[in-house]
């Protein structure tokens, strides 16, 4: 197939290709692949940072331990409650807001809304959590607003004290911070739908409401699925809000998400083996969702 004269050039090209890509590969081997393999390996040992004795091999002991510990099941519950309670409202509201925004004729107005919605995503999650810590103070704005809306003056909603409320509070912070980000994603998705389709539908007598349910939503389905999984993956990794709330005095158990548990177990309590087993479980959960993302994005391609 190949002619001899080209080999020189091909070799040269291959050499440069290697030179350009090998540094990154080495980097990823050391800082991504090695750590995950190491976590898998360590999860089989009873490793504690401070002990000088070589760690004991325990097979799947760490896994049987965490899966029989109510504390870890509580973390799985907290993570999934948070994920479901956050990503579903985020996806629904951001889709709705994006659809509303694309209906605004004035481009300037649309830009103003988009930027206002997006601004919370710009600040860091630690800052977001401190702002809301103050809002959720018993004397704070949270109580004042809710009591105004519900007409229940003087009631303390226990935003940071009650088991259920503190979970809701973390969800509110996350919803607030990321709603604009997802609105922007959906606006991009909506903009990709050719206006000619709507024009044709309007000529055929379709109302805006009908157009949304019959045209926009089906065509946008791949984006919705993709954005949902992305939002879920983000929620599964949540750490900062829960960490700051716990540091700020909120009860730990209701919001002890997996990442927070890994941190406490591995770093505070020095149970490296056990924390590694939790890390692997988290990794597998996220792998499942990523795999779903790839499957959906392959099968749900839409041609306009």
Partner 1 sequence: MDIHKNRFNWTGALIWAVLIITLIFTVMPLVFMITSSLMERNQILRMPFSWIPETFRYQNYVKALEGNDGSWIFPRNIFNSLLVSITVAITTVLIASITGYGIAKFKFKGRNLIFMMIMATMMIPFEAIMIPLYMVATGLKMQDSYAGLIVPFLVSAFGVFQMRQYLTTFPSEYLDASRVDGLGEFGIFWRIVFPNCAPVIATLGILSFRGQWDNLLWPLLVTQSEKMKTIPLYISKFAEEKLTDEGAMMAAAVLASLPMFIMFAALSKYFIGGSAVYESRKG
Among the listed residues 80, 198, 212, 263, the single contact to partner 1 using CB under 8 A: 263
14 binds partner 1 (CB under 8 A): yes
Q: x-or-dash pattern for partner 1, window 56-85, by CB under 8 A?
A: ------------------------------
Query: Of the candidates 166, 185, 250, 255, which one interacts with partner 1 according to CB under 8 A?
Result: 185
Q: Rank residues 25 and 217 by Cβ distance to partner 1 and give the closer one.
A: 25
The Cα-based distances of 112 to 78, 101, 106, 171 in angstroms read 36, 10, 10, 25
C-beta of 162: minimal distance to partner 1 in Å? 19
Q: What angle do helix axes 141-150 and 125-135 make, rounded to 10 degrees?
A: 60
Q: How far is the CB of 281 from partner 1 (least distance, A)?
A: 9
Q: How far apart are CA 268 and CA 55, in angstroms?
A: 18
Distance between start and end Cα atoms, the chain: 40
Q: Is residue 304 within the footprint of partner 1 (CB under 8 A)? A: no
Q: Which two tokens stand for residue 206?
A: 């379709």
Considering only CA atoms, which of 264, 252, 268, 118 is closest in space to residue 180?
Answer: 118
Any residues with CB less than 8 A from the CB of 268 and at least 6 apart, and which? none
135 binds partner 1 (CB under 8 A): yes
DSSP H helical ranges for 192-267: 195-203, 208-211, 217-236, 240-247, 258-263
Binding residue for partner 1, selected from 7, 36, 84, 200, defined by CB under 8 A? 36
> Which range, of 53-61, 62-70, 159-167, 184-192, touches partner 1 by CB under 8 A?
184-192
Which of 6, 7, 34, 269 touches partner 1 by CB under 8 A?
34
Contacting partner 1 (CB under 8 A), which of 131, 193, 201, 253? 131
Spacing of C-alpha 283 from chain mean position: 14
By CB under 8 A, the residues from 38 to 57 that bind partner 1 are 38-39, 42
Interacting residues with partner 1 between 197 and 256 (CB under 8 A): 208-209, 222-223, 226, 230, 233, 236-237, 239-240, 243-244, 247-248
Minimum CB separation of residue 260 from partner 1 in Å reads 10
Any contact of residue 266 with partner 1 (CB under 8 A)? yes
Taking CB under 8 A as the criterion, the residue among 188, 202, 210, 269 binding partner 1 is: 188
Instruction: Please tell me whether residue 6 binds partner 1 under the rule CB under 8 A.
Output: no
Nearer to partner 1, 78 or 128 (CB): 128
Q: b/e per residue, 63-100, with b = 16+ CB within 10 A?
A: bebbeeeeebebbbebbbbbbebbbeebbeebbebbbe
Gyration radius of the chain over CA positions: 25
Q: Could you give the C-alpha distances from 22 to 18, 93, 253, in angstroms and in order?
A: 6, 44, 45
């Amino acid at each position: 197939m190949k002619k001899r004269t080209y080999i020189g050039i091909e070799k040269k090209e291959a050499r440069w290709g290697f030179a350009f890509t090998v540094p990154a590969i080495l980097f990823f081997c050391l800082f991504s692949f090695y750590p995950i393999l190491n976590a898998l390996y360590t999860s089989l040992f009873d490793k504690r940072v401070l002990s000088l004795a070589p760690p004991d091999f325990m097979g799947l002991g760490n896994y049987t331990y965490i899966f029989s510990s109510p504390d870890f099941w509580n973390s799985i519950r907290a993570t999934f409650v948070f994920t479901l309670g956050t990503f579903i409202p985020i996806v629904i509201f951001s889709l709705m807001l994006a659809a509303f925004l694309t209906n605004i004729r004035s481009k300037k107005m649309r830009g103003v809304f988009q930027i206002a919605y997006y601004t919370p995503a710009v600040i860091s999650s630690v800052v977001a959590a401190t702002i809301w810590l103050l809002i959720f103070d018993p004397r704070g704005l949270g109580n004042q607003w809710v009591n105004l809306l519900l007409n229940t003056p003087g009631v303390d909603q226990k935003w940071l004290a009650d088991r259920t409320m503190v979970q809701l509070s973390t969800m509110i912070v996350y919803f607030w911070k990321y709603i604009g980000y997802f609105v922007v994603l959906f606006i991009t998705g909506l903009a990709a739908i050719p206006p000619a389709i709507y024009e044709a539908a309007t000529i055929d007598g379709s109302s805006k409401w009908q157009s949304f349910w019959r045209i926009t939503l089906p065509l946008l389905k791949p984006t919705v699925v993709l954005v949902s999984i992305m939002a879920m993956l983000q929620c599964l990794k949540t750490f900062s809000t829960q960490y700051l709330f716990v540091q700020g005095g909120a009860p730990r158990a209701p919001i002890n998400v997996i990442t927070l548990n890994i941190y406490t177990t591995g770093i505070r309590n020095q149970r490296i083996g056990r924390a590694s087993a939790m890390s692997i479980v988290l990794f597998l959960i996220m792998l499942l969702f990523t795999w779903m993302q790839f499957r959906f994005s392959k099968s749900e391609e839409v041609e306009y």
